[in-house]
A and B are shown apart, each in its own frame.
Chain A
Amino acid sequence: MQRADSLPPEPKLTTADAAVISRPPKSLWRETLERLIRKPSAILGLVILSTLVLIAIFAPLIATHDPLAVLLDVPEEGVEKRMSPCIHLFGCPEAGDTVTNIDVGGPITASAVNVSSSLMLSATGSNVTIWDTENARRVMEMDHEAPVQAAAWSPNSQKVLTASGAELYVWDVNTRQLNRTLEHPGGADLVMWNADGTRFLSADQETVMIWDTLSWNAVGTIELDGARIAAAWNANGTLVMTASGSQVQLWNAFSGTLINTLDHDAPLTSASFNPASTRILTTSGSSLYIWNASSYQQELAAEYSGPLDHGAWLENLSRGVRKVLATSGSTAVVWNAVNGDLLLELDHGAPVERVSGSPLGTRILTHGEHVVRVWNATNGGEVMAVELEDPISNTAWESSGGAVLVASGDTLRVIKTSDYEYIMGVDGNVRDQFSRVIYGTRLSLLVGITTVSFAVVFGVISGAVAGFLGGWVDNIIMRIMDVMLAFPPLILAIAVVTVLGPGLVNALLAISIVFIPAYARVARSGVLAVKEEDFVTADRALGVSSVRILFRRILPNAMAPLIVQATLGIGTAILDAAALSFLGLGAQPPTPEWGAMLGAERNQIFTAPHLVFYPGIAIMITVLAFNLLGDGLRDALDPRLDR
């Protein structure tokens, strides 16, 4: 403090106002500023802070999405879901990267992934192994006497059904024991569970057997006219569909009796239920048909220029996606399933062995002998292409659609298909986290500045009055402040906010109240230091009113430590407001407040740390900026400390 400068030179005693000279000279502030901008840390703080202010102002332009909008209708897929433990700053696998690579040790003859994609199984010769998808660890081994032709997961992933020789094996995954063996004469090459895991079917080329898992008896046996082309359960397990020759037949799953036959002109190449089993897609010759699965009427027929091989559904009703796929040689063709319009023709470059739609209906997977491709189902753009040396035997979508599982040669791979539409991922309520973090800047700056302004105004008034008047007023005010300071600040704030009711405004009020004593103390000591200065005495002698002396003469001279305290206090206020929101007492969902975002996702810390990481980093950067600036200001205002 440069008190020598502020001494009045020679007061002209004609009017009381002449003593205005006692104000601090303007040069003090300029000097402070000059000193401030010589400190690199303070400059850094200022730069960060102005960037944050700009971000706050232009948040709508920077944010890629509405921070409150639920992204249900987003056309992209493979976004970083909450279950993905990947922090982008540290580098995440990009589309086409192999995230898991399992060497099975022999050519894979059959493979399957469970419903949640957490476990994969591979069949090599007479051995079947279950692998953990995430860390490529061996979970369970199942040895058979003969080579394994087929394997399937039960819907709840508790059981695995394998077909080896003429036997069916039922394995229990929990106990890792063989549960029982059943006989399928002729040897099954397809096994399949129904949706609730109470039944399954096994099929060889001519026969389909239906099994019950309560009695473990075959409840029905279906003899087909020709070689089997397809066999499938409907979603609720009441029907079994088979395709052979040019006929699709629907069977009662409880008795094995024929219900209906759907006749085609040419031999069938594929038949499949849609996910809800309300429709059946068939391909035959160069035509594609959609049948209603309850009225057995043909709903749609589409012609293509070439013969069609594999048909597949691309349907997600909650997103309004209703498309069908089929392959013709090396081309995958996409039709609108409602009106039969041809939408896309995707050139795979080699004969396509399989085509499938992603779980959310936004991506298409095609694989030939050596290449796996993923396509955007909306515009037909190629999202990813991976070439593998060994011939590909099987592909499947990971349940979230963010990756594909590929079996080729001896190796099982999980290949990422996601792109970076969402820089910081998507939170548990399917909202764009990046936009929420950006909008959060507004709230945090607002929180810091309003709480501290409130606390400073009330603190300075009470502290200054206490210091100026002294005596019993001082005693009472400062004892009240002492009592408030006797409580840990956050606990007092929690109590106050509970009394007022949770909410952002009340949280701000609580934090302001808790901060008042700190400013009152600083203001009081400042006033006490300046009170006895000569220029104050001069004012008194001149008859200047007490209020005027306090606010125009004393306070401006006691301001420096207050400014420092306030700047540093903003950081603390932001931290405390975030803490209250974290505990559920501050900003309420869906407000994009950093603390609240952190609190909402804190149980996901082990599965999706990025949802906790980014809001926390944002808080840290903001607080750091205020702290750096505060430190710089302190050093600038008190050159003694500068070093």
Chain B
Amino acid sequence: MAGYLARRLTLAVPVLLGILFVTFALARLLPGDPCRSALGERATEQICEAFNERYGLNESIPEQFRIYLRDVLSGDLGESIKFGRPVTELMVERLPVTVELTFFAMLFAVLIGIPMGLVSAYYHNSSVDVLTMITANIGVSMPVFWLGLMLSYLFGVAFRDTVLWLPPSGRLSAGISIEPFYAAWGMSVNPDALTLPGFIANINTLNALLVQDWNGLGDALRHMILPAMALGTIPMSIIARMTRSSLLEVLGLNYVRTARAKGVRETKVVLKHAFRNALLPVVTIIGLSLGSLLSGAVLTETVFGLSGVGRILYDSITGRDYTVVQGFTLIIAVIFVFINLVVDTLYAYLDPRIRLE
């Protein structure tokens, strides 16, 4: 196991280096002058000179890359050109939004997707099965942003004045604020620096749970439902399909037939004997979907007015904010590589037949 992990980590090194290079190159390739796009009308020759000096844009490209590598390795991701704040600070602010969104989307996907697949396989070839699979097929074919817009219309407007009404945008209602848990617990934390408490405090639901602000928790959760549904529908459908086909495959195996021959109840055969083994590919697909959720997050955050990673990435790419583009794509790519590593390891761990070499 340890040997496998070490080998995977060494393999990840060139990939990470490549990612560093690509993020750097992409940022430099963006057309347009960062000074002009950041300062607009105020950008005179002198001001731009000072600006380039400040952000190290005067150096040659290889020199810039060297400095970039040095800074990244020492944990400094630079300062945002547009916001004038360190990128790490922006991450504390934005990353939790996306993490929270992704978590709830995945929760939705797993909680609905797996039962869907289970029911579908259990009642194989029945109308329930057909209906579930039609739903799943439609689910993977929907544009995320469209689903988001339609959901916000349905729950925000059509169900207005009913109990089903849900806030169509934002993270918290006006007038509601949740006290950061570190303040409630009397910890002294610099809210701007990249610290774990600062990060956790920005995950509204978790923070509300920590300070036991049930009102705030309810409000944060209500704001999460629609974005999570919009973002989670595609993984939900994929998980449902995967659960079904994997379960059907396992149900055809000899040991299941043996169990049935022994007279075990069908429910028990499916849930106890087959389901556990069928879960293996589902776990993989959940891991893989986590990565693609980040793509959908850009669209979901745009539709629901959440200022998360996706949103800031889009804004900074179109606004030529080099450092933010570099920093955030880097962190996303690293998370991505890390998730894949975890999934592979988990897969091997769950299935002892796979040897880690």
Q: What is A's interface to B at a CB cutoff of 8 Å?
A: 41, 85, 479-480, 482-484, 486-491, 494-496, 498-499, 501, 571, 575, 578-579, 582-583, 585, 595, 598, 602, 605-606, 609, 612-613, 615-616, 619-621, 623-624, 627-628, 631, 641, 643
CB pair B137–A501 under 8 Å, yes or no, is: no
B138 cross-chain contacts in A, Cβ below 8 A = 620, 624
Within 8 A of A (CB), among B327-344: 329, 332-333, 336-337
CB pair B143–A620 under 8 Å, yes or no, is: yes
Those 8 A-B pairs whose CB atoms lie nearest each other, nearest first:
A616-B146, A483-B18, A490-B295, A623-B141, A624-B141, A488-B294, A488-B295, A486-B333
B152 on interface, CB distance cutoff 8 Å: yes
Within 8 A of A (CB), among B212-249: 245, 248
CB pair B157–A85 under 8 Å, yes or no, is: yes
Q: Which of B145, B147, B325 has the most CB of A within 10 A?
A: B145
Closest A residue to B333 by beta carbon equals A486
Min Cβ gap A521→B in Å is 13
> Which of A480, A491, A615, A621 contacts B18, CB < 8 Å?
A480
B140 cross-chain contacts in A, Cβ below 8 A = 571, 623, 627
Closest A residue to B318 by beta carbon equals A498
> Which of B146, B149, B314 contacts A619, CB < 8 Å?
B146
CB pair A609–B143 under 8 Å, yes or no, is: no
CB pair B29–A579 under 8 Å, yes or no, is: no
> Which of A486, A579, A606, A631 contacts B299, CB < 8 Å?
A579
Jot down 6 A-B pairs with beta carbons below 8 A, ordered by A: A487-B22, A490-B296, A494-B313, A494-B314, A605-B152, A641-B245
Please judge, given known A-B contacts A487-B336, A606-B157, whether A620 and B142 are in contact too, CB under 8 Å. Answer: yes
B30 cross-chain contacts in A, Cβ below 8 A = 495, 498-499
> Which of B146, B153, B325 contacts A620, CB < 8 Å?
B146
Bound-state CA distance A139–B175 (Å) is 26
Q: Which of B138, B143, B294 has the most CB of A within 10 A?
A: B143
Min Cβ gap A227→B in Å is 49
B146 cross-chain contacts in A, Cβ below 8 A = 598, 612, 615-616, 619-620
B150 cross-chain contacts in A, Cβ below 8 A = 605, 609, 612-613, 616
B291 cross-chain contacts in A, Cβ below 8 A = 488
CB pair A598–B157 under 8 Å, yes or no, is: no
CB pair B153–A482 under 8 Å, yes or no, is: no
Min Cβ gap A222→B in Å is 49
CB pair B149–A602 under 8 Å, yes or no, is: yes
B298 on interface, CB distance cutoff 8 Å: yes
Contact with A along B252-290 (1 / 0, CB 8 A): 000000000000000000000000000000000000000
B345 on interface, CB distance cutoff 8 Å: no
Q: Count the B residues whose beta carbon is within 8 Å of the partner chain — how many? A: 48
B22 cross-chain contacts in A, Cβ below 8 A = 483-484, 487
A579 cross-chain contacts in B, Cβ below 8 A = 143-145, 299
Contact with A along B156-182 (1 / 0, CB 8 A): 110000000000100000000000000
CB pair A498–B317 under 8 Å, yes or no, is: yes
B14 on interface, CB distance cutoff 8 Å: yes
Bound-state CA distance A490–B317 (Å) is 12
Bound-state CA distance A489–B299 (Å) is 13
A interface secondary structure, majority:
helix
Min Cβ gap B26→A in Å is 5
B72 on interface, CB distance cutoff 8 Å: no
Please judge, given known A-B contacts A487-B332, A620-B141, whether A482 and B18 are in contact too, CB under 8 Å. Answer: yes
A615 cross-chain contacts in B, Cβ below 8 A = 146
B292 on interface, CB distance cutoff 8 Å: yes
> Which of A489, A494, A609 contacts B317, CB < 8 Å?
A494
CB pair B31–A488 under 8 Å, yes or no, is: no
A602 cross-chain contacts in B, Cβ below 8 A = 145, 149, 303
Q: Which of A41, A495, A499, A627 has the most CB of B within 10 A?
A: A495
Closest B residue to A483 by beta carbon equals B18
Min Cβ gap A492→B in Å is 8
B211 on interface, CB distance cutoff 8 Å: no
B119 on interface, CB distance cutoff 8 Å: no
CB pair B292–A489 under 8 Å, yes or no, is: yes
CB pair B14–A479 under 8 Å, yes or no, is: yes
Min Cβ gap B288→A in Å is 11
Please judge, given known A-B contacts A494-B314, A499-B31, whether A619 and B143 are in contact too, CB under 8 Å. Answer: yes
Contact with A along B292-315 (1 / 0, CB 8 A): 101110110011000000100110
Closest B residue to A578 by beta carbon equals B143
Please judge, given known A-B contacts A486-B336, A612-B149, whether A479 and B303 are in contact too, CB under 8 Å. Answer: no
B5 on interface, CB distance cutoff 8 Å: no
Min Cβ gap A626→B in Å is 8
Question: Beyond the given A85-B157, A487-B336, A494-B317, could you list 16 further A-B residue pairs with CB under 8 A, ordered by the A residue number?
Answer: A483-B22, A484-B22, A487-B329, A487-B333, A495-B325, A501-B31, A571-B140, A571-B141, A598-B143, A605-B150, A606-B153, A613-B150, A616-B142, A621-B141, A623-B140, A624-B141
Min Cβ gap A125→B in Å is 30
Min Cβ gap B138→A in Å is 6
Min Cβ gap B45→A in Å is 26
Within 8 A of A (CB), among B117-159: 137-138, 140-147, 149-150, 152-153, 156-157
B317 cross-chain contacts in A, Cβ below 8 A = 494-495, 498
Q: Which of A486, A487, A575 has the most CB of B within 10 A?
A: A486
Bound-state CA distance A509–B160 (Å) is 43
Bound-state CA distance A486–B23 (Å) is 11
CB pair B31–A583 under 8 Å, yes or no, is: no
A609 cross-chain contacts in B, Cβ below 8 A = 149-150, 153, 157
CB pair B141–A491 under 8 Å, yes or no, is: no
B149 cross-chain contacts in A, Cβ below 8 A = 598, 602, 605, 609, 612, 616
Contact with A along B78-89 (1 / 0, CB 8 A): 000000000000
